[in-house]
Amino acid sequence: MRQVGPIITAALLAVVLAACGGAPPPTPTPSDPLALGQQVFAQYCAPCHGAGGEGFVNALDAPGLNADSEAHQLSDEAILSAIIDGGAASGGNMAPLGDALSEEQEAAVLQYLHTLWTDDQRAAHEAAGGHTP
């Protein structure tokens, strides 16, 4: 009878060693909140809301978030709630991201969204009490 144990052990060791060198390093998290927000937006939000926040880019009909939309009329609290809890409460299809994102990432995305608005829209958002410092 042939011994299989050493052969299997050697094969497993080769696979483990090959996997150690072949995995790409994790993407570094930017220390700048705005850069982090842009990175998180690109990964989690842009597939449905569009790279520039233009909205309505696929069959889910996710609304726009940029200056061409009315997103600036929402409070930061409402925006964060949609990010964390998803859109089901408002009749939308957005999946909740509260378990996927850290509080730091959520705040960074919110900060990035503000950059998609005009100066006048940001001022109106703040004047209406929508901005949470």
Distance CA 45, CA 88 (A): 16
Q: What is the pLDDT of residue 113?
A: 97
What does the block give as tokens for 126? 């703040």
Amino acid 5: pLDDT: 52
Other Cβ atoms less than 10 A from the Cβ of 116: the count is 21
- CATH fold group of domain 30-127: Cytochrome Bc1 Complex; Chain D, domain 2 (1.10.760)
Residues 93, 55: Cα–Cα separation, whole Å: 13
Give the pLDDT score at 27: 57
Q: H/E element holding 80?
A: helix 76-85
- Give the residue from 82, 63, 87, 76 showing the smallest Cα distance to 113: 76
The dihedral through the CA atoms of 102, 37, 39, 69 has a sign that is positive
Q: What is the pLDDT of residue 17?
A: 37
Domain boundaries defined on the chain: 30-127
Cβ contact 68:54 at 8 Å: yes
**Consecutive 10-residue runs of the chain (133 residues): their mean pLDDT?**
49 39 53 94 96 93 94 94 86 90 96 96 90 71
